[in-house]
Chains A and B, each alone.
Chain A
Amino acid sequence: MRFADIFRGGRRADIEVLRARFARFRRLLEKNNRVLYLIADANEKLGGEYVFDSQYLLSLEAELGEAVSDVVRDLAEMSDNGYPGLSSQFERVRAMVQASIKPHQIDPDVPLTLTIDELGTELADVVGEKMARLGEIRRRLALRVPDGFVITARACDLVLARPEIAAEFEKYRAGSDGAAAGLRQAILASEPPAEVTRAIKEALKLFGRDARFAVRSSALGEDSDLTFAGQHTTILNVPREHVATAWLKVVASLFSAKASGYRRNHGLPAAAGEMAVGCLLMVPACAGGVLYSVDPNAPASGTIIVSAARGLGGIVVDGRGFVDEFKLSRQSPHHVLARQIADKKVMYVAVPEGGTHGAAVPAEQRRTPAITDETLAALAEAALRIERHMRCPQDVEWAVGSDNRLFVLQSRPLRLPPTAPHPAEEVLSACARHRVLISGHGEVACRGIGAGRVFLVGPDEATEGFLPGDVLVTRYASPRLAELVAGASALVSDVGSVTGHLATVAREYRVPAIVGTRDATGLLSAGTVVTVDANENTVYEGSVEELLRYQLLRSQPYEETQEFRALRHMLRHVSPLNQRDPSSPEFEPEHCLTYHDIIRFAHERALAELGRLSDFQLEGGGTSARTLELDIPLDLVLIDLGGGIAPGVRGRTLSRRQVTSRPLEILLQGLLAPGVWSTNPAEMDLNGLMASATRAGPLTVPGGDVVRRNVAIVSADYLNLNLRIGYHFNVVDCYFGENPEDSYILFRFVGGVTDVMRRTRRARLLASILSQLGFKTDLSGELIIGRLQGVPQSLCAEQLRMVGRLIGFSRQLDILLRDDRTVDKLVNEFLESKFQMTLDTLLKERDNADRHCNDETGR
């Protein structure tokens, strides 16, 4: 049953149905907020300040599942089960969330191979930390990483599941003596599973016939709390036809005596068979090596350490000498502070038939630096970018290609001695030296410290010119900016709340964020450098190096423990927001891949369902309908859902004093403000009349709603208004929620009989005013839709009053929009509330012009 049917006949019981639906809407909002809160809270737990255990994961999963399920059910009830696909999609996502917190569980839908461009840290649980990070560096930081692909841990599972290997694996897990060697032998003696070989073949199609690969281990948990550095096998310069066997060798190295011993020494359980393998194109390197973004022996010294060899960098990690050592400043432009150039007699080179060998360095190159100062500076810049993104000191393996450009081959957290100094005084006095630009204005959405150049998001959310590492400063925390947040060093918004969608994205990427500052876009100038301390809700002028370093050295490598991985894995199905644009054809239940998508979809559709409350023909009015008596001829009928009109009102009419709906009262304040509702009849000139003659027939609002009477459906905090004034149709749907994310105004305007030019000008004028009021505005033909959302109630109220004025103002527009010049003039003067004056001026101008025209023709 549609609302239109409910209201036919206007029975009292039908109003009750409507009220029940409104109550469901409120409940949906409440649950929606609960889910956003839980996501926010869980992401904060990932930030590292918290101690939690597996019990937390279980209760989080249960509570999230229940709340999202409530949201889905409430939407179903509001819409008469209008989105059947959503509950089945919810069940699918829920199954994945539940599976994700079971240890050692790899989803069976994980592909056997993924290209490097598909990787990011959120996939660490299937591609290993090493490859996940490389993907992140390439995709999100746009640094050069060799092309390649990864063979996921699911492929490793397939090997271990083969009958002849499964038996050995069981023995190994039971801890039998010598079982590791037996297992390794069994793996090496086996053929790669056909399914995996096929997947590898498919992945290799992207590469040329002569492609050679570095086949590297990327075990799950490797490079994490313990580095496993050098414990697993890496095979260099592998021809494509040998990739599958090289993969199997790397998988087998998981059970090598070396790796098993390492696990035993560190008190780790036997390997659970979680090995992903990266296959990256070999870089024909003229130099390579390792960089530490912080000197482990002097963490507070502000220096970077680089080792560089000629040829392939492997010689550096193998510790065989023939390596140059450099110390650089962490401060841009990264001057070389010290250098030690070795006599590099030997370098590793790739051999045409596969593999590498040591070769003599040409005499003239032996005592010259393996890498230029310019390349060193570029390398330092890249490493600090990775460090900023990963939020801890980095150990980077790099290479310089034959084109003299840098490649990042690997980057992992750098372990520092456990008791780093606490330079409290140094940090405090450094902070005191920098001017405080903002302090305590908003709310911290994601803790942390970031510094960079201010990038101000332009009107209409224009984002050209944004560079990774910039501090993103925006008026609204719009979900459309999600793409940029990932690359930003910090986020600051004037408007927005910690449970907003963008704040959630910031936490997902661990970007320090302060939202709801009210005035950051005014206080922070584009292009200047600032430091955002989202621990203390403060923004400093310039880059406070000491503060940044302090945070860096405090960071802890706890994130790769089982529980953190499980939580991260779980949030992968919970927190990312793919459904960003409601106007996209993909905005459908089947494209909701996470809980966040599901609640965003449901929220959006619930608003639309609510907007349809007046989608009916009111015949007879019903006992709850009353006419509002006003000084202007509005002929407005009110239907109260609860608290919208004063208690005890009897009869069929009511006065403005008896309206207790806040949104309606505020809109009326705007509409009835002195001078807004001009008493001059909106007369039409000849053009207007001609146009109207050609536009006879029923007046239908695009979307199919037929508007025949002015109706307001109200509650204490809600207004749904359908207003026809002359030839203009206005629809206002507005809710004032306690949570800033809940309040919204939706304004639709259509119609008005006049010629095409004037219609275009009018559309431009209204859209321009709405955008300047902060509305997201869409124009489609004659339909203008403005939407304001995610702002505090007070701002919402202010703008609703302006919408009231705009409705009154637009009534007079058609006769005035003679030229484009008038449009800009009217926009400005409307916003300065001088439009009555403008109206008079323009009317006078028109009369003068007409007179002038008559004079001309009379001459």
Chain B
Amino acid sequence: MPTGIVMMKPDVEAINPNYCILVIDDEKIVCDRLSNELEREGFEVEAYTESEQALQRIASKYFDLVITDIKMRGPKGIEVMNFVRENHPSSKVIVITGFATVETAREVLKAGAVDFIPKPFKMSKLRELVLRLAAEKNQARKPR
């Protein structure tokens, strides 16, 4: 069975456009890759290389998911996480970082991140995780 096919079987087209994602990474390549790939899955994506600008955006708009780097110019990933928690407690956060240590992982997971992904990572891994989170959100929305 070819890779990547099974996980795309859920009817993503129907659920993803209502799921908003914010990407923060001071490297443009990461922002571009993630927005490209996630937009292909039908999500609405905004990406920022300046975490300061991203915080301003979070203040004015609700995002279902924030994907953030840890080490950045300006506000760091932990500050982003705290800001998200204060403003939108139901938003989820995924942390991606090139400086992966056990301590950082522990710290961010304790601070409430859904997952901690060391860079470089496989896009399929992140895609799978995001699709799962979107599906969970969609399930929760459905009337029982």
A residues contacting B by CB (< 8 A) are 45, 49-56, 59, 418-420, 422, 424, 427-428, 431, 447, 449, 533, 535-536, 547, 550-551, 554, 556, 558, 561-564
* Contacts A/B (CB < 8 Å), 21 sampled: A49-B122, A50-B122, A52-B119, A53-B30, A53-B120, A54-B27, A55-B99, A55-B119, A59-B98, A422-B5, A422-B8, A427-B2, A431-B2, A449-B2, A535-B3, A535-B4, A536-B1, A550-B2, A550-B5, A558-B32, A562-B29
The answer to whether the Cβ of B75 comes within 8 Å of any Cβ in the partner chain is: no
Q: List chain A residues, Cβ under 8 A from B6.
A: 424
Contact in complex: A419, B119 (CB < 8 Å): no
Instruction: Known A-B contacts: A418-B40, A419-B40, A536-B3. Give 13 more (CB < 8 A).
Output: A50-B120, A51-B96, A51-B120, A51-B122, A52-B120, A419-B42, A420-B40, A424-B5, A424-B9, A535-B4, A536-B1, A551-B2, A561-B32
Q: List chain B residues, Cβ under 8 A from A533.
A: 2
Q: How far is the CA of A424 from the CA of B10 in the complex (A)?
A: 11
Task: With CB as the reference atom, state the residue of chain B lying closest to A544.
Answer: B2
The answer to whether the Cβ of B87 comes within 8 Å of any Cβ in the partner chain is: no
Q: Which of B15-41 contact A (CB under 8 A)?
A: 25, 27-30, 32-34, 36-37, 39-40
Q: How far is the CA of A601 from the CA of B60 in the complex (A)?
A: 60
Task: With CB as the reference atom, state the residue of chain B lying closest to A550.
Answer: B2
Q: List chain A residues, Cβ under 8 A from B9.
A: 424
Contact in complex: A53, B99 (CB < 8 Å): no
With both chains docked as a complex, state the minimum distance between the C-beta of B130 and any C-beta of chain A, in angstroms: 13
Contact in complex: B30, A51 (CB < 8 Å): yes
With both chains docked as a complex, state the minimum distance between the C-beta of A533 and any C-beta of chain B, in angstroms: 6
The answer to whether the Cβ of B123 comes within 8 Å of any Cβ in the partner chain is: yes
Contact in complex: A428, B120 (CB < 8 Å): no
Contact in complex: A56, B5 (CB < 8 Å): no
- Picked from A56, A431, A551, the residue with its CB within 8 Å of the CB of B120 is A56
Q: List chain A residues, Cβ under 8 A from B28.
A: 561-562
With both chains docked as a complex, state the minimum distance between the C-beta of B1 and any C-beta of chain A, in angstroms: 6
Q: How far is the CA of A740 from the CA of B110 in the complex (A)?
A: 42
Interface string of B94-115 (1 = CB under 8 A from A): 0010110000000000000000
With both chains docked as a complex, state the minimum distance between the C-beta of B111 and any C-beta of chain A, in angstroms: 22
Interface string of B61-98 (1 = CB under 8 A from A): 00000000000000000000000000000000000101
Q: List chain B residues, Cβ under 8 A from A447.
A: 3
Q: List chain A residues, Cβ under 8 A from B34.
A: 51
Contact in complex: B33, A51 (CB < 8 Å): yes
Q: How far is the CA of A547 from the CA of B40 in the complex (A)?
A: 20
Q: How far is the CA of A59 from the CA of B100 in the complex (A)?
A: 12
Q: How far is the CA of A428 from the CA of B34 in the complex (A)?
A: 27
Q: List chain B residues, Cβ under 8 A from A45.
A: 120
Name, among A52, A56, A428, the residue most crowded by chain B CB atoms within 10 Å (CB to CB). Answer: A52
Contact in complex: B1, A431 (CB < 8 Å): yes
Contact in complex: A561, B29 (CB < 8 Å): yes
With both chains docked as a complex, state the minimum distance between the C-beta of B115 and any C-beta of chain A, in angstroms: 14
Q: How far is the CA of A50 from the CA of B125 in the complex (A)?
A: 9
Q: List chain B residues, Cβ under 8 A from A547.
A: 2
Q: How far is the CA of A53 from the CA of B39 in the complex (A)?
A: 20
Q: List chain B residues, Cβ under 8 A from A427.
A: 2, 5
Contact in complex: B2, A49 (CB < 8 Å): no
Q: How far is the CA of A562 from the CA of B31 in the complex (A)?
A: 13
Q: How far is the CA of A305 from the CA of B27 in the complex (A)?
A: 38
Q: List chain B residues, Cβ under 8 A from A536.
A: 1-3
Contact in complex: B2, A535 (CB < 8 Å): yes
Task: With CB as the reference atom, state the residue of chain B lying closest to A59.
Answer: B98
Q: How far is the CA of A561 from the CA of B29 in the complex (A)?
A: 7
Q: How far is the CA of A50 from the CA of B8 in the complex (A)?
A: 18
Contact in complex: A418, B39 (CB < 8 Å): yes
Task: With CB as the reference atom, state the residue of chain A lying closest to B33.
Answer: A51
Q: List chain A residues, Cβ under 8 A from B122.
A: 49-51
The answer to whether the Cβ of B53 comes within 8 Å of any Cβ in the partner chain is: no
B residues contacting A by CB (< 8 A) are 1-6, 8-9, 25, 27-30, 32-34, 36-37, 39-40, 42, 96, 98-99, 119-124, 126
Name, among B4, B42, B120, the residue most crowded by chain A CB atoms within 10 Å (CB to CB). Answer: B120
Given A50-B120, A561-B32, check contact A55 B2 (CB 8 Å).
Answer: no
Q: How far is the CA of A535 from the CA of B122 in the complex (A)?
A: 14
Task: With CB as the reference atom, state the residue of chain B lying closest to A42.
Answer: B120
With both chains docked as a complex, state the minimum distance between the C-beta of B119 and any C-beta of chain A, in angstroms: 6
Q: How far is the CA of A490 from the CA of B27 in the complex (A)?
A: 34
Q: List chain B residues, Cβ under 8 A from A558.
A: 32-33, 36
Task: With CB as the reference atom, state the residue of chain B lying closest to A432.
Answer: B1
Q: How far is the CA of A533 from the CA of B3 in the complex (A)?
A: 9
Contact in complex: A556, B37 (CB < 8 Å): yes
Q: How far is the CA of A424 from the CA of B2 in the complex (A)?
A: 9
Q: How far is the CA of A56 from the CA of B37 in the complex (A)?
A: 20
With both chains docked as a complex, state the minimum distance between the C-beta of A436 and any C-beta of chain B, in angstroms: 11
Q: How far is the CA of A533 from the CA of B33 in the complex (A)?
A: 25
Q: How far is the CA of A52 from the CA of B119 in the complex (A)?
A: 6
Which 3 pairs of residues, A with B, have the shortest CB-CB distance? Answer: A52-B120, A55-B98, A535-B3
Q: How far is the CA of A427 from the CA of B6 in the complex (A)?
A: 11
Q: How far is the CA of A50 from the CA of B9 in the complex (A)?
A: 22
Task: With CB as the reference atom, state the residue of chain B lying closest to A561.
Answer: B29
Given A51-B121, A56-B120, A419-B42, check contact A428 B5 (CB 8 Å).
Answer: yes
Q: List chain A residues, Cβ under 8 A from B3.
A: 447, 535-536
Q: List chain A residues, Cβ under 8 A from B37.
A: 556
Q: How far is the CA of A776 from the CA of B2 in the complex (A)?
A: 37
- Picked from A53, A535, A564, the residue with its CB within 8 Å of the CB of B25 is A53
Q: List chain B residues, Cβ under 8 A from A449.
A: 2
With both chains docked as a complex, state the minimum distance between the C-beta of A171 and any C-beta of chain B, in angstroms: 25
Given A56-B98, A419-B42, A561-B29, check contact A554 B120 (CB 8 Å).
Answer: no
Q: How far is the CA of A839 from the CA of B3 in the complex (A)?
A: 56
Q: List chain B residues, Cβ under 8 A from A562.
A: 28-29
Q: How far is the CA of A45 from the CA of B32 in the complex (A)?
A: 16
- Picked from B1, B4, B119, B126, the residue with its CB within 8 Å of the CB of A53 is B119
Q: List chain B residues, Cβ under 8 A from A418.
A: 36, 39-40
Q: List chain A residues, Cβ under 8 A from B123.
A: 49-51
With both chains docked as a complex, state the minimum distance between the C-beta of B144 and any C-beta of chain A, in angstroms: 29
Task: With CB as the reference atom, state the residue of chain B lying closest to A562.
Answer: B29
Q: How far is the CA of A550 from the CA of B1 in the complex (A)?
A: 12
Contact in complex: B2, A50 (CB < 8 Å): no
Name, among A45, A59, A449, A556, the residue most crowded by chain B CB atoms within 10 Å (CB to CB). Answer: A556
Q: How far is the CA of A547 from the CA of B3 in the complex (A)?
A: 11
Task: With CB as the reference atom, state the residue of chain A lying closest to B27.
Answer: A53
Q: How far is the CA of A598 from the CA of B6 in the complex (A)?
A: 43
Q: How far is the CA of A52 from the CA of B120 in the complex (A)?
A: 4
Q: List chain B residues, Cβ under 8 A from A53.
A: 25, 27, 29-30, 98, 119-120
Q: List chain A residues, Cβ under 8 A from B32.
A: 558, 561
Q: List chain B residues, Cβ under 8 A from A535.
A: 2-4
Task: With CB as the reference atom, state the residue of chain A lying closest to B8.
Answer: A422
With both chains docked as a complex, state the minimum distance between the C-beta of B28 and any C-beta of chain A, in angstroms: 8
Q: How far is the CA of A49 from the CA of B128 in the complex (A)?
A: 13
With both chains docked as a complex, state the minimum distance between the C-beta of A56 and any C-beta of chain B, in angstroms: 5
Q: How far is the CA of A554 from the CA of B41 in the complex (A)?
A: 12
With both chains docked as a complex, state the minimum distance between the C-beta of B108 and any C-beta of chain A, in angstroms: 17
Q: How far is the CA of A781 from the CA of B61 in the complex (A)?
A: 82
Task: With CB as the reference atom, state the residue of chain B lying closest to A269.
Answer: B28
Q: How far is the CA of A551 from the CA of B5 in the complex (A)?
A: 11
With both chains docked as a complex, state the minimum distance between the C-beta of A45 and any C-beta of chain B, in angstroms: 6
Task: With CB as the reference atom, state the residue of chain A lying closest to B9.
Answer: A424
Q: List chain B residues, Cβ under 8 A from A50.
A: 120-123
With both chains docked as a complex, state the minimum distance between the C-beta of A267 and any C-beta of chain B, in angstroms: 9
Q: How far is the CA of A841 from the CA of B33 in the complex (A)?
A: 73
With both chains docked as a complex, state the minimum distance between the C-beta of A444 and any C-beta of chain B, in angstroms: 10
Q: List chain B residues, Cβ under 8 A from A428.
A: 1-2, 5
With both chains docked as a complex, state the minimum distance between the C-beta of B76 and any C-beta of chain A, in angstroms: 15
Given A419-B40, A424-B6, check contact A51 B1 (CB 8 Å).
Answer: no
Q: List chain A residues, Cβ under 8 A from B126.
A: 51
Task: With CB as the reference atom, state the residue of chain A lying closest to B42.
Answer: A419
